[in-house]
Structure 1
Amino acid sequence: MSDGTGRRGLFLSFEGIDGSGKSTQARMLAEALRAEGRDVVLTREPGGSPGAEEIRALVLQGDPDRWSAATEILLFTAARRDHLERTIRPALDRGAVVICDRFADSTRMYQGLSRGDLRRTVDDLHALMIGIEPDLTLLIDMDPEVGLSRAKGRQGIEERFEDFGAGLQARMRTGFLDLAREFPARFRVIDGARPEGTVAADVLTAARTALSEGETA
């Protein structure tokens, strides 16, 4: 989408298992693109709008068995719809770069595959209520044991999914890599085990390439 200066906006998502460093990389990319003079909206899921942030507290805190996977899909879809209406679409409509820490791919993994085969349900609800995918998805790949250790080391209150343990993280890593093969046109897999600055350089290169392709399209 043009911002009136010939530039085109970009909807970019970061995905990865817990503790992969994606949130840090999303923030660093936002800072780098702002330094280049771009209008950047850095947001997250679940969350990114007042209503969605309220749902975030429901799904990320508490006992691991607080919700069934099917109920979580409904909650995440409701949060994503509010986020889309109030944050993402208005930013894209003015030609901004939207950087989202997690989007629908996380629901495809954590709810669609974690406790049963509910991927079809996720995709059907997404098509009905959301209807868009990121232009570029950066998957920060990380060893599950290392990622879980990092995530638990934060000692925060939003650890409901981390509390499912290393087995879930291993399944999620495999699932994310499968998604990258399923949607090769929009996924870029970045090795998150390297130094933070090295990862950030690869992330920035991928984002600049996508922006350049959008501006010349």
Structure 2
Amino acid sequence: MTPGKGLFISFEGIDGSGKSTQARLLAETLRGEGHEVVLTREPGGSPGAEEIRRLVLEGDADRWSPETELLLFTAARRDHLERTIRPALARGALVICDRYVDSTRVYQGVTRGDLRAAVDALHALMIGQDPDLTLLIDIDPAEGLARARARAGGEQRFEDMGLAMQARMRDAFLDLAAAAPDRFRRIEGAGGTADVAGRVRAALS
């Protein structure tokens, strides 16, 4: 990898799919191979974006309107892009991001008020940076929800929406993958962590 030739990889999937674990494992593997890797997440990934993360992922599920929520996520992404993603790519690093704009397309664009056109318009206007590769960790919605609810912590913002919402989100992610086959790779998320990690590494190769 050379300066100005960084690679941007995003991980996507429903809650409890294991994408965060797989993003971390891939980062560790690639660092072991000698690459500079920046492992980051959304919402978050920069100090300002982490503050916004607390606003949108904690508290009552209906505390924000869908439109307000979309603006908050876009503001967080813009700060993340300016302060973390673009500087890393400019120096030739490999950026691995746990969620990116496709999550906004699903959560706010499909399940939170049919705002997909607004999501795409804001992305074009304020962001303009897509991943080079998106790895979709695909898992049964019931299994994903059980995993998500077993996690400790206060970030239950979307898990609390239930199984029907998980199923809708999975379908939406699969639709995005079908519409952009050059960018997406679907990874079977069932099985052990090491098995899924092997599928991730094979997809990257």
Superposition CA RMSD, Å:
1.1
Q: Does residue 1:102 correspond to 2:95, yes or no?
A: no
1:201 counterpart residue number: 198
1:85 counterpart residue number: 82
Within 2, Cα distance between the matches of 1:161 and 1:55? Answer: 16
Within 1, Cα distance between the matches of 2:108 and 2:194? Answer: 32
What is the TM-score when the length of structure 1 is the normalising length?
0.92
Which digits, 9 at most, give the CA deviation of each residue in 1:77-125, with x for residues without a partner? 0000000000000000000000000000000000001132110000000
- SS of the equivalent of 1:188 reads strand
Q: Does residue 1:162 correspond to 2:165, yes or no?
A: no
Aligned residue identity for 2:38: V
Instruction: Report how far residue 206 of structure 1 moved.
Output: 2.0
Which of 125, 142, 160 is equivalent to 2:139? 142
Within 1, Cα distance between the matches of 2:147 and 2:122? Answer: 32
**Sequence identity of aligned pairs in percent?**
71
Q: Does residue 1:58 correspond to 2:37, yes or no?
A: no
Q: 4+ residue runs of structure 1 moved beyond 2 angstroms?
A: 1-4
What is the TM-score when the length of structure 2 is the normalising length?
0.98
Aligned residue identity for 2:126: M
Which digits, 9 at most, give the CA deviation of each residue in 1:150-202, with x for residues without a partner? 00000210011101111111100000000000111000000001211111011
Q: Does residue 1:26 correspond to 2:16, yes or no?
A: no
- Counting matched residue pairs gives 205
What residue ranges of structure 2 are gaps of 5+ in the alignment? none
Which of 42, 46, 50 is equivalent to 1:49? 46
Within 2, Cα distance between the matches of 1:36 and 1:169? Answer: 36
Within 2, Cα distance between the matches of 1:135 and 1:46? Answer: 19
Within 1, Cα distance between the matches of 2:153 and 2:98? Answer: 17
